[in-house]
Amino acid sequence: MPRILRVINRFNIGGPTYNAAYLSKYLPSDYETILVGGSPQAHEAHSGYILDQLGVPYMEIPEMGRRVRLLDDWRAFRKLCAIIRQVQPDIVHTHAAKAGALGRIAARWCGVPVVVHTYHGHVFSGYFTGFKNTLVKSIERMLGRMTTAVIAISPIQRKEISELHGIVPMRKMHVVPLGFDLSRFETEQVTKRALFRTQYGLQENQVAIGIIGRLTAIKQHELFLKSFGIAASSQPLLVAFVVGDGERMQELQAMWGSIAAQYGLASDRLQFTSWIKAVDVALAGLDMVAMTSLNEGTPVSLIEAQAACKPVITTDVGGVADCVNENRTGLIVRSHDPIVFADAMIHLANDAHHRAAMGRLGRTFVTDRYSYVRLVNDVAQLYDDLLRQK
């Protein structure tokens, strides 16, 4: 029975946890998976409940955090090596940057025959500049040489990683889109909508837009706040929700206070909810969903929003164009100008029929492409091929 050691950055809510959870749970029974990950940051919600719901056991390495801390990283590396020696995996499969660095080096150090890495996004644009960016690319190229196969989660991402940034040769790269169990976004929508809107005091004629994700610089929430301020000043029924938490919470709350004052808006026109575990309830209560990121792989929030029949408005970054059918399931804004983004908000806020039509198309679009069954089959086939080659 082939044994897989799966290593993810940390157990926080997001695409890597879901990806690892479904692969650990649903791979064919002739594979055995051991899941290891780092601890979330203090302001991040722990994603262990996702794994617990699926009955997936996991091991946590507290020292494997998001930031580079040499002593903690060394300790995490040693723990990974100890786990590899104990488990004796046939494949080590790492997910995202920190796990990808420590896990791949540990795998090669311990002589693991097959090493696979998944880029859930990448840090080659929007994160670092100058020398730091050059250094990061050099390190990733070195890691690529010790990797048997690299998974990109969209064709656009594969092209960026291989051709634009020259990190890994195309022959090593495989496109395997993310996969999810989207059924909860399709059931009991009327009940869930009433629950959310009652909790937050919304009237049925109010139009609610939300943005879902970590409150961190790469997500560029300031664009959402500025755009909403412009749109809300001419749309009295438009309200907004920032769903998530992070190191920028206080900064963004203060920024919204200034924007609300600038446009003469009541501060409660936009609410910060922190994390909402029942995101299916939140999406049922919203009328449209925004994303303003500077860089993304395949944004989970947009896939889930479309599964819940909600149109999306998003910046044109990363793999967005692969998971949003432009002008049919959402609006892709090619400028980071808040006026342009606000115009998109106003357009959809004014047209309930257009929102409904986009929502229906969105559900069909993502259900066909992002099933966890397809994900598991794709990865199992890749594992089979790699093991045969070895």
* pLDDT at residue number 66: 77
Sheet holding 173-175, edge to edge: 59-61, 32-38, 3-10, 91-95, 114-119, 149-152, 173-175
Q: What one-character-per-residue DSSP string does 255-270 give?
A: HHHHHHHHHT--GGGE
Which residue carries 């790469």 as its tokens? Answer: 218
Q: Give the pLDDT score at 334.
A: 81
| Cβ density class 115-133: b for 16+ within 10 Å, e for less | bbbbbbbbbbbbbeeeeeb
Question: Residue with structure tokens 């693991």?
Answer: 112
Measured over all CA atoms, what is the biggest interatomic distance in the chain, rounded to whole angstroms? 66
With CA atoms as reference, report the closest residue to 281 among 200, 367, 225, 204.
200
DSSP-derived 3-state class of residue 194? helix
| Domains annotated on the chain, with CATH | 3-179+371-389 (3.40.50.2000), 183-369 (3.40.50.2000)
Count Cα neighbours of 332 within 13 Å in the Cβ-side half-sphere. Answer: 16
Cα–Cα distance for residue pair 149/168, rounded to 1 Å: 9
Helix 338-349 and helix 221-234, axial crossing angle in degrees, nearest 10? 50
- The whole-model pTM stands at 0.79
Residue that is written with structure tokens 């005091």 in the block: 201
Q: Give the residue from 111, 344, 127 showing the smallest Cα distance to 224.
A: 344
Q: What is the pLDDT of residue 68?
A: 81
d(CA 348, CA 335): 18
Beta strand spans in the chain (E)? 3-10, 32-38, 59-61, 91-95, 114-119, 149-152, 173-175, 207-212, 238-243, 270-274, 288-291, 312-315, 330-333
Mean pLDDT by 10 residues, the chain (390 residues): 94 85 93 94 83 94 87 96 97 94 97 95 60 83 96 90 90 94 93 97 96 94 98 97 95 98 97 95 98 88 97 92 94 91 97 97 92 94 94
Provide the 8-state DSSP code for 244: B
First to last CA, the chain: 15
- Give the angle 192-22-147 at the CA atoms, nearest 5°: 140
Nearest CA among 360, 193, 184, 355 for reference residue 285? 193
